[in-house]
A = this chain, B = another copy of it.
Amino acid sequence: MRKIGKQEIEDMAVGAALLGTGGGGDPYIGKLMALQAIEEFGPVTVLDPEEVPDDALVVPSSMMGAPTVMLEKVPSGEEAIEAFQKLEAYLDEKIYATFPIEAGGVNSMLPFALAARLGLPVVDADGMGRAFPELQMVTFYLDGISATPAVIADEKGNSALLTTIDNVWTERIARAATIEMGGSVMNAMYSMRGKQLRESGIPNILRLEEEIGKTIRLAKENNVNAIQEVLKTVGGFELFRGKVTDIDRKTETGFARGIATFEGIGNDKGETLQLRFQNEHLLATKGEQVVCVTPDLIAVLDAETGLPITTEGIRYGTRCVIIGIPCHPKWRTKKGIETVGPGYFGYDVDFVPVEELVNKGGEK
């Protein structure tokens, strides 16, 4: 058990945005929401998964929709409370604690904004260890935990409580409703028991986020290279160094989709890297060669500061370092790859772990 104040939130927001692999929402908005709630209601208690009673009811607080929409439609906090209260009424049980569904600029922060208001603790575990664009893309789904009963609520006061035959149907129906409700909504879904979260979730995600953020923040005063330090912290690889020459992005069917193109600088001069994304970066290719692919993590960092850049933050001319990070082993299982591998997103490539791709590239 530990208390989370403003500095921890600042660091976590940066680390979450990096693990959010370009998606998960704007870290600035997420951070502001959490900071404002902590300012008003005081620090939030974070529990290690082991500290949560077996039968305690725990529910992640998250947002769904296109990050590009979230930029213009900042949630007030009321809709998150509404979603939780509707779910509590339906289950006829008080919620013991909340937790993040994923690592990402907004979705890592929303549990803190809600927890501060409701006086709930936040559990240090999530369902992805990164960010993914669809509701069924959580370790809970791999372990057979139902997304429903699921409540979605918009800022206008509309809400829907879904009961579906599987989590893919939750995604389909909630996504259609979300688009109609203005492109983004607050969720209360994947309610589970403390024991389930401990067994199925990815633990210590908040500690990792904080560590990444702190590393980047302190790099300058410690006179070390931020990106090299981050790579050590996360066990990742530098894939490419280049500047943005083209960014083709549109918001469609409720997602921000597109392709970003980088022209190499330094050792990568003369080469071109392309990133394909659907909210999150999913595939990085250098010419015909895959250099990193989902479910492994692809993050774009500012070459100078080491700060992560979201897909909607990618601007022409920005100098970036693209890094790859091995995903949690749960995603490298057969069901994991079926759920979030390149085939699911329509890319005609096989999943190969980033550490193998990097070695192969090195052997050339």
**A residues whose Cβ falls under 8 Å from a Cβ of B:** 86, 90, 156-165, 169, 172-173, 175-177, 179-181
19 contacts between A and B (CB under 8 A): A90-B90, A156-B165, A157-B164, A157-B165, A158-B162, A158-B163, A158-B164, A158-B169, A158-B173, A159-B162, A160-B160, A160-B161, A161-B163, A173-B177, A173-B180, A173-B181, A176-B177, A176-B179, A177-B177
Q: Given contacts A161-B162, A173-B177, list 10 more A-B pairs with CB under 8 A.
A: A156-B169, A157-B164, A160-B162, A161-B163, A172-B180, A173-B180, A173-B181, A176-B176, A176-B180, A177-B177
Q: How far is the CB of A166 from chain B (nearest CB, A)?
A: 9
Q: A162: which B residues are within 8 A, CB to CB? A: 158-161
Q: How far is the CA of A157 from the CA of B165 in the complex (A)?
A: 6
Q: B157, B163, B175: which contacts A159 (Cβ < 8 A)?
A: B163
Q: How far is the CA of A24 from the CA of B159 in the complex (A)?
A: 27
What is the total number of copies of this protein in its complex? 2
Q: How far is the CB of A3 from chain B (nearest CB, A)?
A: 36
The 6 nearest A-B residue pairs measured at CB: A176-B180, A161-B161, A157-B165, A176-B176, A158-B164, A160-B160
Q: How far is the CA of A181 from the CA of B86 in the complex (A)?
A: 23
The residue of chain B having its C-beta at the shortest distance from the C-beta of A172 within the complex is: B180
Q: How far is the CA of A162 from the CA of B163 in the complex (A)?
A: 12
Q: A86: which B residues are within 8 A, CB to CB? A: 163
Establish whether residues A160 and B173, one from each chain, have CB atoms under 8 Å apart when the complex forms: yes
Q: How far is the CB of A227 from chain B (nearest CB, A)?
A: 42
The residue of chain B having its C-beta at the shortest distance from the C-beta of A150 within the complex is: B160
Q: A173: which B residues are within 8 A, CB to CB? A: 158, 160, 177, 180-181
Q: How far is the CA of A168 from the CA of B323 in the complex (A)?
A: 47
Q: How far is the CA of A287 from the CA of B165 in the complex (A)?
A: 51
Q: How far is the CA of A156 from the CA of B165 in the complex (A)?
A: 7
The residue of chain B having its C-beta at the shortest distance from the C-beta of A176 within the complex is: B180
Q: How far is the CB of A197 from chain B (nearest CB, A)?
A: 25
Q: How far is the CA of A158 from the CA of B176 in the complex (A)?
A: 14
Q: How far is the CA of A161 from the CA of B90 in the complex (A)?
A: 11
Q: A157: which B residues are within 8 A, CB to CB? A: 164-165
Q: A172: which B residues are within 8 A, CB to CB? A: 180
Q: How far is the CA of A165 from the CA of B157 in the complex (A)?
A: 6
